[in-house]
């Protein structure tokens, strides 16, 4: 599971997708594609972005929900918390005066 | 050459006519009986002689899978120009219209995407 998260985060396009989802949850594939083109000049096809989303989804970083006829993508930061806590010392530098 | 007519597939022409006129604000231009269906077009009141939008019956077996796939990915079937997307978002939301994308600045344009209740997503857009 953690390996999936690292793999998902290793790609700049996937990190940009997460950046966009931080800004607003509940985006359709169309909106994600439009944001990547408008904000980052991405030349990727819809299929390519769809595949990137599938990687993020299998790592648990993106969850999809169906609402009526629509499909929306939300950010899920829980897998990141596991990564962060893995290397956190119980008494980090900040906690010592 | 100019664009004369463009079309959207609608599951119910009468319902579509009400949505496109009463809610979106277009006006009916042609309404001709064609068998069980109608040749039903609307135009913008700002351009009565401009491009017509044909409200085409969605009975063909190819339309269902096509519309379902587009809507699931959030892809609009058509894009209409408005003066002010946030203002139109507020007006239409007040009328109960559902949006799948809130107003969003995308470089030189601002867009939003709404459900036309007849099977399609419709984008509204204004330039900077």
| Cβ-based contacts of A23 with chain B (< 8 Å) | none
Two structure tokens written together for A6: 């690292």
| Residue ranges making up the domain that contains A52 | 2-95
Taking only the tens place, the pLDDT of each residue in A31-88 is: 999 999 887 777 889 999 999 999 999 999 999 999 999 999 999 999 999 888 888 8
A73 and chain B: CB distance < 8 Å anywhere?
A: no
Cβ pair A69:B71 closer than 8 A: yes
Hey, what are A54's tokens? 């599938």
pLDDT score of B85: 98
The domains found in chain B, sorted by start residue, are: 5-126 (3.10.180.10)
Looking at the complex, does the CB of residue A27 fall below 8 Å from at least one CB of chain B?
A: yes
**Does the pLDDT of residue A93 top 90, yes or no?**
no
Per-residue pLDDT tens for B18-64? 999 999 999 999 999 999 899 999 999 999 999 999 999 999 999 99
Query: B74 vs A12, A64, A71, B47, B121, CA distance in Å?
Result: 24, 13, 7, 28, 7
CATH number of the structural domain spanning residue A72:
1.10.10.10
Task: Give the pLDDT confidence score for residue A90 in this predicted structure.
Answer: 74
Residue A67 has phi, psi (to 5 degrees) of -130, 105
User: How far does the CA of residue A43 sit from the closest CA of chain B (Å)?
Assistant: 15
Chain B positions in Cβ-Cβ contact with residue A31 (cut-off 8 Å): 74, 101, 104, 113
Q: What is the pLDDT of residues A62-77, one digit of tens each?
A: 999 999 999 999 999 9
H runs (alpha helix) in A1-95: 2-9, 12-23, 29-40, 46-58, 78-87
Residues paired with A63 in a beta bridge: A74
Label each residue of chain B as H, E or C. CCCCEEEEEECCHHHHHHHHHHHCCCEEEEEEEECCEEEEEEEECCECCCCEEEEEECCCCCHHHHHHHHHHHCCCCEEEECCCHHHHHHHHHHCCCCEEEEEEEECCEEEEEEECCCCCEEEEEEEC
Distance CA(A15)–CA(A12), nearest Å, equals: 5
Domain count, chain A: 1
Reported as a pLDDT band with limits 50, 70 and 90, residue A97 is low
Q: Which residue of B has its CA nearest to A35?
A: B106
Query: Least CB-CB distance to A34: which of B71, B102, B106?
Result: B106
């Amino acid at each position: 599971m953690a390996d999936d998260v690292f793999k998902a985060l290793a790609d700049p396009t996937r990190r940009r997708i997460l950046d966009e989802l931080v800004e607003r949850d509940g985006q359709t594939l169309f909106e994600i594609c439009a944001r990547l083109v408008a904000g980052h000049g991405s030349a990727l096809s819809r299929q390519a972005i769809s595949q990137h989303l599938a990687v993020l989804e299998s790592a648990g970083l993106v969850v999809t929900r169906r609402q009526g006829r629509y499909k929306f993508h939300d950010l899920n930061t829980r897998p990141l918390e596991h990564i962060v806590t893995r290397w956190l010392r119980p008494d980090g530098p900040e906690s010592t005066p | 050459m100019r664009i004369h007519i463009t079309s959207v597939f609608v599951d119910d022409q009468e319902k579509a006519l009400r949505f496109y006129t009463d809610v979106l604000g277009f006006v009916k231009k042609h309404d001709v009986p064609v068998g069980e269906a109608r040749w039903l077009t609307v135009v913008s009141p700002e351009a009565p002689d401009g491009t017509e939008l044909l409200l085409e019956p969605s009975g063909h077996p190819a339309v269902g899978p096509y519309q379902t796939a587009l809507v699931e990915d959030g892809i609009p079937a058509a894009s209409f120009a408005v003066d002010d997307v946030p203002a139109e978002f507020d007006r239409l939301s007040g009328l109960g219209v559902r949006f799948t994308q809130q107003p969003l600045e995308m470089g030189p344009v601002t867009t939003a995407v709404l459900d036309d209740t007849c099977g399609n997503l419709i984008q509204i857009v204004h330039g900077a």
